[in-house]
Chain A
Amino acid sequence: MNNNKPKILTANEASMIVESSVIKRRKKDARLKTYGRIAIGLAVSFLIFLFVSIFSKGIPGFFQYYVTLDVYLDRDRLDPKGDLSPESLYNGDARSIVLESLYKVINPKGRKEKKAAKKIISTNADVRISKMVLDDPNILGKTIPITFAVDDDIDSFLRGYIKRETPSSERRINDTVIKFVDKLSAENKISYKFSDYILTGSASRSPEIAGIKGAFIGSLLTLAVCFIIAFPLGVATAVYLEEFAPKNRITEIIEVNINNLAAVPSVVFGILGLAIFIGVFGMPRSIPLLGGMVLALMTLPTIIISSRAAIRAVPPSIKDAAYGIGASKLQTIFHHVLPLAMPGMLTGTIIGMAQALGETAPLLMIGMVAFIVDIPGGVTDPGTVLPVQIFMWADFAERMFIQKTSSAIIVLLVFLIFMNAAAVILRKKLERRW
Chain B
Amino acid sequence: MNKELFLTFLKIGGFTLGGGAAMVPMMEKEIVLKHQWLSKEEFLDIYAVSQATPGIFAVDMASHIGYKIGGVKSGIIAALGVVVPSIVIILAIAIVFSQFKDNPWVEAFFKGVRPAVVALLAVPIFSMARSARITWANCWIPIASTLLIWLCGVSPAWIILIAGLGGFLYGLYLNKKQ
Please determine whether chains A and B interact with each other in the same assembly.
no
Give the interface of A toward B (CB within 8 A). Answer: none
